């Protein structure tokens, strides 16, 4: 894998309004640095400890995104530096992020995760759950988190129509929330959707942020 070349190809082909999160999970620091030297500054990890270790070892101008399921008891380890938390799916988690952000005198950007795939998973909210979260007094009281958009994962399938339908659903959710809860908020802008195998469809459906691992770094070996 020529990681630098892959990054440069993405830089050339992505529309200007779509950000690339390079998903470096399981990849060693030297490989992350190949992407960094090609100009990549946004990286994503899905394990708290790996994120923390990479943050400590690597250049400080990297923006670290947490893209996995975050347990409330681990928020404190990433609160000092995480620049975006992609997969927030409960008020409980949002409240802990708010508290830990306050301890660090920060405001942390978050995305709400939605369950758009057919696959059974415990992660991700429905539109109704998000509405009840966003409409609650508890949510209005949170001063150290900024909800900046939505995130989701499509079904892992070759059926392009299905994937397109799910990404379109997430785009619609974004628009409903934007008009009902964030119409006067300039920072509610992000739709994080699309991975190595489906990012072209995600971009067609309005993605502003794709999360790409194996197409940049090669297959992961666990």
State the Cα–Cα distance between residues 107 and 85, nearest whole angstrom: 12
Q: What is the residue-wise DSSP string for 159-185?
A: -HHHHHHHHHHHHHHHHHHHHHH-TT-
Minimum CB separation of residue 152 from ligand PLP in Å reads 10
| Site track 171-190 with ligand PLP (rule: CB under 6 A), x = hit | --------------------
End-to-end Cα spacing for the chain: 17
| Site track 191-210 with ligand PLP (rule: CB under 6 A), x = hit | ----xxx-------------
State the Cα–Cα distance between residues 172 and 157, nearest whole angstrom: 21
> Considering the rule CB under 6 A, would residue 29 count as an interface residue with ligand PLP?
no
CA-to-CA separations, 53 to 28, 77, 149, 169, 179, in angstroms, rounded: 11, 10, 27, 36, 39
Task: Say how many residues touch ligand PLP, by CB under 6 A.
Answer: 13
Strands (E), the chain: 19-23, 42-45, 63-66, 84-88, 108-114, 145-152, 190-192, 209-212
List the one residue from 19, 25, 54, 171 that touches ligand PLP (CB under 6 A): 25
Closer to ligand PLP by Cβ: residue 6 or 142? 6
> Considering the rule CB under 6 A, would residue 46 count as an interface residue with ligand PLP?
yes
Say if residues 204 and 163 touch (Cβ distance below 8 Å).
no
> Considering the rule CB under 6 A, would residue 67 count as an interface residue with ligand PLP?
yes
> Considering the rule CB under 6 A, would residue 212 count as an interface residue with ligand PLP?
yes
Closer to ligand PLP by Cβ: residue 47 or 107? 47
Q: Which residue is nearest to ligand PLP (CB)?
A: 213
Closer to ligand PLP by Cβ: residue 72 or 196? 196
Closer to ligand PLP by Cβ: residue 67 or 142? 67
State the Cα–Cα distance between residues 35 and 217, nearest whole angstrom: 9
State the Cα–Cα distance between residues 105 and 99, nearest whole angstrom: 10
Of 88-96, 130-138, 168-176, 211-219: span binding ligand PLP (CB under 6 A): 211-219
List the one residue from 7, 18, 22, 23 that touches ligand PLP (CB under 6 A): 23
State the Cα–Cα distance between residues 201 and 193, nearest whole angstrom: 9
Question: Which stretches of the chain bind ligand PLP, using CB under 6 A?
Answer: 23, 25, 46, 67-68, 195-197, 211-215
């Amino acid at each position: 894998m020529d990681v630098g070349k892959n990054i440069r190809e993405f830089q050339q082909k992505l529309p200007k309004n779509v950000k690339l999160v390079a998903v470096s999970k399981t990849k060693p620091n030297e490989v992350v640095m190949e992407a960094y030297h090609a100009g990549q500054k946004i990286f994503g990890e899905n394990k708290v400890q790996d994120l923390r270790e990479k943050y400590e070892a690597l250049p400080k101008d990297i923006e670290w995104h947490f893209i996995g399921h975050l347990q409330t008891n681990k928020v404190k380890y990433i609160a000092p530096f995480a620049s975006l938390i992609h997969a927030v799916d409960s008020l409980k988690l949002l409240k802990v992020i708010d508290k830990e952000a306050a301890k660090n005198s920060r405001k942390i950007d978050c995305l709400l995760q939605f369950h758009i795939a057919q696959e059974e998973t415990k992660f991700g909210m429905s539109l109704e759950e998000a509405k009840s979260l966003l409409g609650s007094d508890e949510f209005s009281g949170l001063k150290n988190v900024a909800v900046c958009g939505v995130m989701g994962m499509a079904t892992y399938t070759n059926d392009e129509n299905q994937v397109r339908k799910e990404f379109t659903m997430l785009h619609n959710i974004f628009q409903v929330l934007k008009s009902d809860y964030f119409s006067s908020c300039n920072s509610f802008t992000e739709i994080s959707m699309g991975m190595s195998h489906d990012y072209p469809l995600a971009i067609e459906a309005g993605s502003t942020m794709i999360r790409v691992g194996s197409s940049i770094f090669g297959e992961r070996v666990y």
